[in-house]
Structure 1
């Protein structure tokens, strides 16, 4: 339990630092085509109540709330500073069907069967107890409700998990990326059945001065594996390309 709590604190501190950097964090995570693909993919209907798990800057929450004025969206995260910014933005833009709630990173502060859909983008690889988190997702979902997961995955030939070591160079609580097969196994354990999916990629920068031990990491892994991520160093930025799982589940 102590390890889980320390991991949550590391994630919280890392993301408070990232959000305070503003434009660089946006540069890492924004992708308008990917966002459009997600919005087209999600089976959103009138009067739904949607939970955005690990909402961060509200990257999914805001466009969904704007597009569907007759639904309710709640963004959940451990990073209070980001949520404060989100609340201010919602007030400024007069978006009345959205709210943001903080929690301890373990138990969700909601009743059983409260939501029609849970969505999460680029967040679940930070969750230290993924089994507990997915069990909480299943608990708060109605029968017939949906879970949408969008998260990077190791390349098919990354047998040494280079990508996890790379992500852990920055001390922001990265745990691991999961393969599609691992997601099917984890979610299936909690009554969440695969419906459909699509694949995408993300290419983003990491600041070299926060990638502690980068050169040492490169020596630990086969050159072919490193090259499969199209790694490129440009000044103080390191770029890699990651595959992304986009998977929709339905609660049985």
Structure 2
């Protein structure tokens, strides 16, 4: 799949997911994880922050409300989600937040515009990760920060079962990256590791969106599948994924 088609698949998949409302929230929200992220990030007064792949504004809104002197822009390809976010910001009178759509490749911002870029559960959908990290580095000021929170394969998942599983839902999943892969990719663009913490996410997927699920199970070792604590409950499939939470600094 080429980049343009991958972006369109992601956009359509997330428009479908957002239309489910509470079910999307059930898949992605975790108040304990959110608190850990907010405690972990190096906020300071008058920062300008880019929330890349903002989705429902899950990070943007709490940051904007807690730090009224910080300016936040949420960037995403899914216009429907951004419309909902704009309405919510207006209804809740959150004035230090805005939401912008883009083409999924080129960031509509000047060089050195942001003090921090944050991204949660989004980068595994980006079809040209080298270009995206290059763009992230371009828009971050010197000594600014990048925070990535994204699932990662289990250590023993050498056959990449988890990527095959995620790709069963047609929402443009490309790849989960290991911590070492993030260090290598980000290091190429002047982003140096500062600190990290690990977490997990356990979430449901509707079985009727997991196309070829039974065939997928036959292709991978039982031990690998079991390491994700896979469980089928009615029409839902649950797995537990490890999550990298990594802070980089631009030098």
Instruction: Show the 5 A alignment for 1:54-65.
Output: 54-65=53-64
Partner of 1:49: 48
Stretches of structure 1 that go unaligned for 5 or more consecutive residues are: none
Please state whether the residue corresponding to 2:73 is helix, strand or coil: strand
Return the alpha-carbon distance in structure 1 between the equivalents of residues 130 and 209 of structure 2.
30
Return the alpha-carbon distance in structure 2 between the equivalents of residues 181 and 80 of structure 1.
33
Partner of 1:99: 98
Offset of residue 143 of structure 1: 0.2
Partner of 1:112: 111
Return the alpha-carbon distance in structure 2 between the equivalents of residues 140 and 8 of structure 1.
21
Return the alpha-carbon distance in structure 1 between the equivalents of residues 207 and 15 of structure 2.
19
Return the alpha-carbon distance in structure 2 between the equivalents of residues 215 and 18 of structure 1.
23
Deviation string 1:84-122 (CA, Å, 9 cap, x unpaired) is: 000000000000000000000000000000000000000
RMSD: 0.5
Q: What is the TM-score of this pair, normalised by structure 2? A: 1.00
Return the alpha-carbon distance in structure 1 between the equivalents of residues 70 and 52 of structure 2.
16
Residue 172 in structure 1 maps to residue 158 in structure 2:
no
Return the alpha-carbon distance in structure 1 between the equivalents of residues 103 and 60 of structure 2.
20
Number of equivalent positions? 251
Partner of 1:231: 230
Return the alpha-carbon distance in structure 1 between the equivalents of residues 215 and 237 of structure 2.
15
Partner of 2:21: 22
Stretches of structure 2 that go unaligned for 5 or more consecutive residues are: none
Instruction: Show the 5 A alignment for 1:1-252.
Output: 3-252=2-251
Please state whether the residue corresponding to 2:94 is helix, strand or coil: coil
Runs of 4+ in 1 over 3 A off after TM superposition: none
Deviation string 1:186-221 (CA, Å, 9 cap, x unpaired) is: 000000000000000000000000000000000000
Please state whether the residue corresponding to 1:212 is helix, strand or coil: coil
